[in-house]
Amino acid sequence: MAEPEKKTCHKTTRRENFRVVVEPDCGTGSEESYCRDIKTEIGRHVDYVKFASVEYDTLEVCSFCGRAWEPAKDEEGPHCSGCGADIKEEPPND
């Protein structure tokens, strides 16, 4: 009587969650407003779209120099380690 064939396997990959990534070409304009306009245009003109969304990453940065938020402190008080600007209380969220 022949041995039953043993099951074997190996690591492989499976592709899922297919989506289309669109990067705006917005020159000096606001990336956010270009992305929102593109999303609206996709909704108007493109078939086979189930869902489109504008997504972004949120970074903590200095409001003065735009570098990553890295507060430092010395005898004069807290300041940005990137540009040296004194740290004041945050303005209310807009």
Q: Kindly list the residues in this chain that would bind Zn ion in the complex (CB under 5 A).
A: 62, 64-65, 80, 82-83, 85
CA distances from 89 to 51, 59, 79, 92, 94 (A): 39, 18, 12, 9, 15
Cβ distance 26 to 37 under 8 Å? Answer: no
Q: Which is nearer to Zn ion, 22 or 83 (CB)?
A: 83
Q: To the nearest whole angstrom, how small is the minimum distance from the Cβ of residue 91 to Zn ion? A: 15
Sorted by sequence, the CB contacts under 8 Å of residue 38 that are 6+ apart come out as: 22, 24
Q: To the nearest whole angstrom, how small is the minimum distance from the Cβ of residue 84 to Zn ion? A: 7
79 by DSSP, 3-state: which?
strand
Q: To the nearest whole angstrom, how small is the minimum distance from the Cβ of residue 60 to Zn ion? A: 12
Q: Which is nearer to Zn ion, 72 or 83 (CB)?
A: 83
Q: Which is nearer to Zn ion, 49 or 83 (CB)?
A: 83
